[in-house]
């Protein structure tokens, strides 16, 4: 019996996968990759003997059968999927039946599109004394959301929101935020295919126009939506500053001193 490695490929760029993830690809005997979301450039690191299959046309049952059969006869089997496997990666659905087959497995984390999108736009998700909480969520579509997690309820906290899997539901997103009391001028960032070479697009707007901007740009999939009080803070000049770096703030690596008068 071999071992299954569930590897996060990151947001798209081939050099944003972890070193561990690429090393596993380089010695894999079989790779099942999410072809609709993961760049084929990652597969260039696979050895010549490696068996490769695209899961984009498979059902969950087919994927489980494919992985289970390879794990029974090959040493290193990789399930390569987008972003981080623990976030919207169907991890539980995949691992539960494979555990019943006594498949040994390990997860290798990847860079989430939420973090990659903020980085691409040179934005911080948190800001001292403004927001210290980030909510990772999605809008209700085919998969229902628990009532307590409706976007309007989460938005009522007034913190940073990173909204996955909702590019086709921007009208619904903005309506939910309006119902939570957010103003029409609230900045919104949408990053399409973040880090994908020659395909990444950064769209900035506000709650009143972001849906129209994305429709005009034909952004309907693979987009991260970010909004919250920290967004576009760099354009403001009255942002609070972290006390960690203040001259009068002591910690284990530095003794406080009075700033010059």
Q: Which domains does the chain show, CATH number per domain? A: 3-108 (3.40.1010.10), 113-232 (3.30.950.10)
Q: Averaged over 132-137, what is the pLDDT? A: 97
Give pLDDT, residue 251: 67
Taking the CA atoms of 145, 218, 223 and 54 in sequence, report the sign of the dihedral they define.
positive
Distances (CA, A) of 13 to 41, 82, 128: 9, 11, 31
Give ∠ CA 77-37-109 in degrees, rounded to 5.
55
Residue 183 confidence class, pLDDT cut points 50, 70, 90: very high
Residues 147-178: pLDDT tens digits? 999 999 999 999 999 999 999 999 999 999 99
Closest CA to 129 of 62, 43, 229, 196: 229
- What pTM value is reported for the model? 0.89
Closest CA to 16 of 105, 114, 135, 112: 112
- List the structure tokens of 181: 């009391």
């Amino acid at each position: 019996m071999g071992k299954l490695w569930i590897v996060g490929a990151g947001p798209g760029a081939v050099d944003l996968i972890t070193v561990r993830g690429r090393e596993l690809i380089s010695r894999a005997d079989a790779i099942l990759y999410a072809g609709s979301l993961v760049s084929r450039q990652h597969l260039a690191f696979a050895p010549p003997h490696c068996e490769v299959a695209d899961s984009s046309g498979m059902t969950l049952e087919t994927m489980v059968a494919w992985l289970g059969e390879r794990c029974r006869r090959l040493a290193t089997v990789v399930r390569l999927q987008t972003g981080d496997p623990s976030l919207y990666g169907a991890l539980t659905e995949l691992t539960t039946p494979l555990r019943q087959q006594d498949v040994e497995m390990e997860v290798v984390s990847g860079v989430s599109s939420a973090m990659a999108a903020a980085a691409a736009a040179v934005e911080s998700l948190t800001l001292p004394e403004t927001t210290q909480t980030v909510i990772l969520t999605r809008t209700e579509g085919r998969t229902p959301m628990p009532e307590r997690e409706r976007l309007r309820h989460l938005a009522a906290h007034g913190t940073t929101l990173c909204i996955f899997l909702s590019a086709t539901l921007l009208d619904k997103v903005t309506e939910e935020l309006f119902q939570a009391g957010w103003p029409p001028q609230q900045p919104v960032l949408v990053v399409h295919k973040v880090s994908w070479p020659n395909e990444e697009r950064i769209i900035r707007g506000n709650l009143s126009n972001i849906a129209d901007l994305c429709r005009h740009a034909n952004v309907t999939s693979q987009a991260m939506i970010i909004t919250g009080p920290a967004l576009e803070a760099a354009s403001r000049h009255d942002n609070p500053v972290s006390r960690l770096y203040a001259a009068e703030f002591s910690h284990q690596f530095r003794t406080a001193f009075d700033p010059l008068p």
